[in-house]
Amino acid sequence: MIRDEALGWAVRAGDPAFTDWETFTLWLEADPAHARAYDDIAASVADAAELVAASAPANDDASSAEPPRRRRPWLASAIAASLAVVAGFWAFQGQQRDLYTVETTLGETRRVTLDADTRIELAGGTAVEFDRKDKRYARLEHGQALFTVRHDAAHPFEVAVGEERLVDIGTVFDVRRDAQGLSVAVSEGAVQFDPDGADVRVSPGEVLRRPAGTSEYTLARLPVEQVGEWREGRLTFEGATLDDVAAQLKRATGIEYVAASGGSGAVSGSILVAPLRKDPGSIGPLLGLSVRSENGRWVIGSH
């Protein structure tokens, strides 16, 4: 995780013998999240260093004062102790969660009810972690899930998605994370995306998309009725890539759809999933695609 990498860099950079500043700088510049994580580490270390330094033995004898260079071992020890405090605190925090995972197979859906007003519906091929001790937390490992959340301003519902964090503001929202990237669509209330970083509000009828391998995101409009429509067995595509179409079809049906090698083009249209289970090839005329059966897979491409 980025936080662990940042802690590692803090430990190494705190060593007086450290010289690999070029690699460290490249790591910081590779992703804005790296710099934010390192800044958080540095702030925590500074706070902890004050506590450690306060416990250092006082020496009021002016005649025994040492030159500044002789005090560096104490400073290095204080930094090391501070880093140990910070690392130990995070480890302690991580141990407090009592996590369990709910998974679905491709083509399967499942509902998890956390309380009377909070439920999560999982699409096919999805894994979500929950906390037995905290019903206001979930982590989407991969796949897609629709969250219907009871809002509590004092204890907002939090969804972790990779290194990102989503916080509800009285909400029904759909989150998807797969090889194509991350998307967050809202039909009721609002979601605060990455509140400690980008801090983007996603409102009803909006979808935030961030392609895989990039930190850039877009915010676009979409009909609210399309949010979570996969629960009713419908999929709608608007300028989608072939890879995205294949991934969503596979998740919804359990059928091995793949995009043709080198295929391109934008796909738009709305389909019902049920007929595809009887005739996987019918996706061709429905979305204007070429489709062929090959070694147990259905290969889709543009005409």
pLDDT in tens, 54-101: 555 554 444 444 444 444 444 445 555 555 545 554 444 445 789 999
Looking at the structure, tell me whether residues 53 and 106 fall in a common domain. no
Looking at the structure, tell me whether residues 65 and 117 fall in a common domain. no
**Quick one: average pLDDT of 147-176?**
91
At 49 the pLDDT is: 53
CATH number at residue 119: 2.60.120.1440
Domain that residue 89 falls in: 2-95
Owner of token pair 């969250």: 147
- pTM for this prediction: 0.68
At 26 the pLDDT is: 76
User: Which among 226, 252, 286 is the end of a domain?
Assistant: 226
Looking at the structure, tell me whether residues 125 and 204 fall in a common domain. yes
Looking at the structure, tell me whether residues 220 and 188 fall in a common domain. yes
How many structural domains comprise the chain?
Answer: 3
Looking at the structure, tell me whether residues 155 and 237 fall in a common domain. no
Looking at the structure, tell me whether residues 38 and 143 fall in a common domain. no
Looking at the structure, tell me whether residues 165 and 257 fall in a common domain. no
Instruction: Report the alpha-carbon distance of residue 92 to residue 282 in Å, rounded.
Output: 53
Looking at the structure, tell me whether residues 89 and 111 fall in a common domain. no
User: Which among 193, 226, 259 is the end of a domain?
Assistant: 226
Check whether 1 has a pLDDT greater than 90: no
Looking at the structure, tell me whether residues 62 and 43 fall in a common domain. yes
Looking at the structure, tell me whether residues 86 and 138 fall in a common domain. no
Looking at the structure, tell me whether residues 129 and 216 fall in a common domain. yes
At 73 the pLDDT is: 47
Average pLDDT of the chain? 83
Looking at the structure, tell me whether residues 205 and 171 fall in a common domain. yes
User: Which among 226, 252, 271 is the end of a domain?
Assistant: 226
Burial pattern 19-43, b for ≥16 Cβ within 10 A else e, equals eeeeebeebbeeeebbebbbeebee
SS (H, E, C) 156-204: CCEEEECCEEEEECCEEEEEEEECCEEEEEEEECCEEECCCCCCEEECC
First to last CA, the chain: 42
Check whether 153 has a pLDDT greater than 90: no
> Strand runs (DSSP E) across the chain, as ranges?
99-103, 110-115, 118-122, 127-131, 134-149, 158-161, 164-168, 171-178, 181-188, 191-193, 200-202, 206-211, 218-221, 234-240, 257-259, 267-272, 289-294, 297-302
Lowest model confidence (mean pLDDT) among 68-72, 127-131, 251-255: 68-72
**Quick one: average pLDDT of 15-21?**
70
CATH number at residue 278: 3.55.50.30
